[in-house]
Amino acid sequence: MNNNDIPSSNNRRKFIRGFSLALGTTAFGLPMLSLNACQSGNSGNQEQPEEANQGGAEKKKMGIALVGLGGYSTNQLAPALQETENCYLAGIVTGTPSKAEEWKAKYNIPDKNVYNYENFDQIKDNPDIDIIYVVLPNGMHAEYTIRAANAGKHVICEKPMATSVEDCQRMIDACNKNNVGLSIGYRLHWEPHNLRVMELGQQQVFGPVKKIETANSFVIGNPDVWRLDKQLAGGGPLMDMGIYCVQGAVYTMGEPPVAITAKFGEVTRPEVFDEVEQTIIWQMHFANGAVAECRSSYNESAGRLRGEAEKGWWELQPAYGYSGIDGKTSEGDMDYPQVNQQALQMDGQAQSFMQNEETRVPGEMGMRDVKILMAIYEAARTGNKVPLSW
């Protein structure tokens, strides 16, 4: 997502309107690590959404419309939709006419499946579109998820789910009211190295987890990006990159923390970080006494998730990237393939919508994580240990 694809970018802020524990993988009910399931699907699915026979019943591939054609949609989601088996790229929503023409030509998208932010609600009348994937700045997730639900479409919402717990609840309520599914864009729940971490921690393969260390950061260059606008982003690196650390710690443990301590890091570029934090460091305290030491910054490079248990350890580094994830344990290297995470994610989410089953990464999980993010900010602001109840 880049700034010129934000609705009415001349006045972005006017579009920021008032906008439970539900783990997709439970401690003893983790998705199995099947190498076959880690292979990419066929290409070119967006042109011919073929029908497949599964269990004697016809199943149509579900049409996805991407809302917001920034970097993630352009470089990750759209290419991944050429490799999916249960869904295909059916439509787009963009405020940039030149992008609309480019995408129509590149992906063979018909005119009737191209929308802008003014006529977005008309998408309700389009039977080609089954799922709306909201890939907008964080502060706009609630509005467009609710509008998508009111249009009767299933929703995939990028992380973080929203910028407040209250907005998360409104999103869940809208989807429930309209009887549509809601799934969060947590792609690593289909990534084999991270799935193995879930098994190692939750199933106590090396005994109870005692300590977690995790960091996720990058150096932000261009200051003219929505990630540095507090209204659009909801915060700084914690909302963007730190949420992976929150996720990593929680899916290592199989449960959320019971308390948070935190502090803001030093600001060395005040001219850039005048609205959001540059760096934040926090600790997640779990019921069994385990502590996760976490760090996220827009002025460092990091991507690590390590767990230490009574009888062994494991580490992913890089841990959270789109590719090149690498892992090892106290018993040796993790030998899993690199996969197209977004293709597996969207296929899995489409399948859950088709079968009317709860997704691996439901809205309740997204709301849980936003509650943790808000507690981290509170702890950093106040210097107090913030308890969490579930």
- How far is 256 from 369, CA to CA, in rounded Å? 9
Tell me if 3-187 shares its fold with 191-339+363-387. Answer: no
Grade residue 179 by pLDDT with cuts at 50, 70 and 90.
very high
pLDDT grade for 6, boundaries at 50, 70 and 90 = confident
CATH architecture of 3-187: 3-Layer(aba) Sandwich (3.40)
Cα→Cα distances 93→103, 111, 133, Å: 11, 11, 10
Is 263 considered catalytic here?
no
Residue of 61, 153, 159, 371 marked active site: 159
Q: Is the separation of the CB atoms in 380 and 220 below 8 Å?
A: no
Task: Write down the pLDDT at residue 5.
Answer: 72
Amino acid 205: pLDDT: 98
Computed over every residue of the chain, the mean pLDDT equals: 89
Burial environment of residue 246 by CB neighbours within 10 A (0 to 12, 13 to 18, 19 or more): buried
- Asked whether 93 and 356 are in contact (CB, 8 A), the reply is no
**Looking at per-residue confidence, does 10 or 215 come out higher?**
215
Average pLDDT over every residue of 135-140 = 98
Q: Please confirm, yes or no, whether 244 is among the known catalytic residues.
A: yes
Check residue 8 and give its pLDDT.
Answer: 52
107, 117, 186, 244: the catalytic one is 244
Residue 37 has pLDDT above 70, yes or no: no
Average pLDDT rounded to a whole number, residues 152-158:
98
Residue by residue, what is the 3-state secondary structure of the chain?
CCHHHCCCHHHHHHHCCCCCCCCCCCCCCCCCCCCHHHCCCCCCCCCCCCEEEECCEEEECEEEEEECCCHHHHHHHHHHCCCCCCEEEEEEECCCHHHHHHHHHHHCCCHHHEECCCCHHHHHHCCCCCEEEECCCHHHHHHHHHHHHHCCCEEEECCCCCCCHHHHHHHHHHHHHCCCCEEECCHHHHCHHHHHHHHHHHCCECECEEEEEEEEEEECCCCCCHHHCHHHHCCCHHHHHHHHHHHHHHHHHCCCCCEEEEEECCCCCCCCCCCCCCEEEEEEECCCCCEEEEEEECEEEEEEEEEEECCCEEEECCCCCCCCCCEEECCEECCCCCCCHHHHHHHHHHHHHHCCCCCCCEHHHHHHHHHHHHHHHHHHHHCCCEECCC
Provide the pLDDT for residue 38. Answer: 44
Compute the distance between CA of residue 234 and CA of residue 158 in angstroms, rounded to an integer: 14
Please state the pTM of the whole predicted model: 0.89
Say whether pLDDT at 9 is over 60: no
Q: For 183-220, what is each residue's pLDDT tens digit? A: 999 999 999 999 999 999 999 999 999 999 999 999 99
- What is the structure's pLDDT at 42? 37
pLDDT band (50, 70, 90) for residue 49? low
The torsion angles phi and psi of 44, rounded to 5 degrees, stand at 75, 20
Query: Is domain 191-339+363-387 annotated with CATH 3.40.1280.10?
Result: no
pLDDT tens track for 321-368: 999 999 999 999 999 999 999 999 999 999 999 999 999 999 999 999
Residue among 121, 122, 148 nearest 134 (CA): 148
Q: What mean pLDDT comes out for the span 73-100?
A: 98
185: nearest Cα among 345, 75, 76? 345
- Residue spans per domain, the chain: 3-187, 191-339+363-387
Residue-wise pLDDT tens digits, 246-299: 999 999 999 999 999 999 999 999 999 999 999 999 999 999 999 999 999 999
